[in-house]
Amino acid sequence: MSLNTTPSLHSSYLANELANADLQTEYARMREELERLLTEPDKDFQRIDALVDQLELVQLAFKEQHGIKGNNPNE
């Protein structure tokens, strides 16, 4: 029995409006927001952590849309 720890992206990991969005555009918007947060003198680390987690989910959803599973492009 194999243990797969990758979250199922067909579940509630992505909000419905995000699942239907253009993932590349959403990813770029989130990256810009992250860069802005990181350049502020008073860092909101809770928001930064949440944004990094959201970026990971968008990246996984984008990879799934293109048939990429895991980090190995040869899979």
Write the secondary structure of 8-50 as one string of H (helix), E (strand) and C (coil): CCCCCCCCHHHHCCCHHHHHHHHHHHHHHHHHCCCCCHHHHHH
pTM value?
0.65
pLDDT of residue 23: 86
Q: What is the pLDDT along the chain (75 residues), one digit of tens a residue?
A: 444 444 444 433 465 555 556 888 989 999 999 999 999 999 999 999 999 999 999 888 888 887 777 766 665
Under 8 Å between Cβ of 59 and 49: no
